[in-house]
Amino acid sequence: MELHIVILAAGQGTRMKSRRPKVLQDLAGRPLLAHVLDTAAALDPARIHVVYGHGGDQVRAAFAERPVSWVEQAEQKGTGHAVDVAMPQIPDGATVLVLYGDVPLIGASTLRELLQAAAQGLAILTVELDDPSGYGRILRDPEGAVRGIVEQKDASAEQLAIREANTGILAAPAAQLRGWLEGLDNDNAQGEYYLTDCVAASVAQGRAVAAAQAADEDEILGVNDRLQLAGLERIYQRRQASALLREGLGLADPARLDIRGRLRHGRDCHIDVNVVIEGEVVLGDGVRVGPNCVLRDVVIGDDSRIEAFSHLDGATLAGDCQVGPYARLRPGTELAARAKVGNFVETKKAQVGEGSKINHLSYVGDAVLGADVNVGAGTITCNYDGANKHLTQIDDGAFIGSNSALVAPVHIGAQATIAAGSTVTRDAPAEALTVARSRQKSISGWRRPTKSKG
């Protein structure tokens, strides 16, 4: 039986107080809906249907590359109505799994258990909560069979004492679900068509309702405001840190690491506090990352060291490199083995050869440096002429004196020396000293200007 997944993502989320729809709010650097879509895709469904409403253009644009079926819910009339608008696209022979775009931590393994329970009919996912406030309560008969679900606003005092709560997530054969949805009414405190009323409809037909229970209540937590979103962020990050620790990554403080992408690491790596990981990050063996660093889409070779407050984006480092503190490596930066980029240095689209050093206060962009090049403090490659970018090439063993400006396109030969303070506008020959600065002179008897007393 093929699986069709319906994700409800039409809510406005007014309590977020945002111009963006709720399902586009970020969790770990990605929209809430992205997390749900990833989990849904892991179940290998025949089709994923996303029911959208408020801010639908934004939602569809954010996931334009996703192979999903978009279904508009023009009027928000409740969860039952939301699923019903998706049913025309689902064949009777399918199993339907209903998820929510603002419940991002639900796990694929939990959903697989729910789908197994739905093999013969309707199955719902429940959870035991110490405080089930806000959730519908599961009603069972004396033998423990599920008899229905009562929403909090419709519950009696006795029913409110029930701790088993409805998560809203359910699975059912499409043909049966279609019939139950057609029979829903909105005679309730909210005036909405409740998806949960399908439980009572199934029981009324003499069909058993199965229940799978989430082992971890964090899985079923939803988002209604920024306080809840912040709470989910910490849960998500704690999960990521715990998994990395189990895999052997050293963390100075698991509570002060933010994973907003994917991190792969070798042996004996260590990450200090307040580090942010974005995109795809790969650490070789023995890599150490200092505090307050941002790593985005980088590959860092064995035994390299990233010092505090460094920002690496789209860079590739070979083994035994040293970066920072306070360094910024922009996209296209490639460091060969034993290269060093020091404090307050910025690089962009720069190839830095083996053993080369850019130690202090420099900008090197659109450049190719050979091996064992030494770039002095305050050096810049003047790579932009206002319209186009140009290349600076520095060959093996060149020494660039402090406070030099290399005006590209320019080629510095092997073993060349550029005198400090030079502005180099023409190629500098190999094994020669190039001085490109005005001659120093002193003027005797000169007086500084003074302010007029008038």
Positions annotated as catalytic residues are 360
Q: Using the predicted structure, report yes or no on whether residue 201 has a pLDDT greater than 70.
A: yes
Q: How confident is the model at residue 454 (pLDDT cuts 50, 70, 90)?
A: low
Of all residues in the chain, what percent carry a pLDDT higher than 70? 100
Cα–Cα nearest to 168, from 73, 233, 80, 227: 80
Model pLDDT for residues 318-354, shown as the tens digit of each residue: 999 999 999 999 999 999 999 999 999 999 999 999 9
Region for 58 from its dihedrals, namely left if φ exceeds 0, alpha if ψ lies in -120 to 50, beta otherwise:
alpha
Spatial contact of 76 and 55, defined as CB atoms under 8 Å apart: no
- Residue 97 in contact with residue 43, Cβ under 8 Å? yes
The residue with tokens 């400006």 is 405
Q: Residue length, the chain?
A: 454
Which whole number is the average pLDDT over 286-290? 98
pLDDT in tens, 394-433: 999 999 999 999 999 999 999 999 999 999 999 999 999 9
**Is-contact 115 43, C-beta < 8 A?**
yes
Q: Check whether 51 has a pLDDT greater than 90.
A: yes
Integer Cα distance of 342 and 19 in angstroms: 41
Peptide bond into 409 cis (omega under 30): yes
Judged by average pLDDT, the poorest of 3-7, 158-162, 272-276 is 158-162
Examine the pLDDT at 79 and tell me if it is beyond 90: yes
Q: State residue 215's pLDDT score.
A: 81
pLDDT of residue 12 exceeding 90, the answer is no
Domains, the chain: 3-220 (3.90.550.10), 240-434 (2.160.10.10)
What's the rounded mean pLDDT across residues 62-69?
Answer: 94
Diameter of the chain by CA atoms? 110
In degrees rounded to 5, what are phi and psi of residue 176?
A: -65, -45
**Mean pLDDT calculated for residue range 144-152:** 89
